[in-house]
Structure 1
Amino acid sequence: MGSVVALGRAMGITVTAEGVENTHQMTALVDAGCDELQGFLFSRAVPASSLTALLTEQEGVLSAAAP
């Protein structure tokens, strides 16, 4: 995992980890230096027509959790 992240960083590209399903994976990927994560840990797949509502809802949750 670290090699892939290092390669992406060396190439100057954003490193996105897909298929993150649990907090253990999330922690390992963040510690490895991934820039972005996606997967069922964050949201199930949704149709494009529901995306705006989902992002608005998550923005509210993140704003409420901010210090």
Structure 2
Amino acid sequence: MREVFVEYLSECMEKHLPGRDISYRAFGLSIYSYTFMITQTKHYEQGWFNYERALSGFIQNASKIFSL
């Protein structure tokens, strides 16, 4: 499933963010990895990790990246 998701996300970003000097596949994998990490960490009591802040920050940062 990870491979299908990363491939789909990579193709979407390349289509909607053409001409960027990035590896769309690596960026897609980074997004997948971070999303996976924050969802998994939510299930553990971690004093150093704030799930809501991490998710909110991720969404804000992604919005800024995609609007460039």
Q: Please classify the TM superposition score into its range, dividing by the shorter chain length.
A: 0.3 to 0.5
Greater share of residues in helix: 2
TM-score, scaled to structure 2 = 0.36
Larger relative strand fraction: 1
TM-score with structure 1 length normalisation?
0.36
Say which one has the larger Rg. Answer: 1
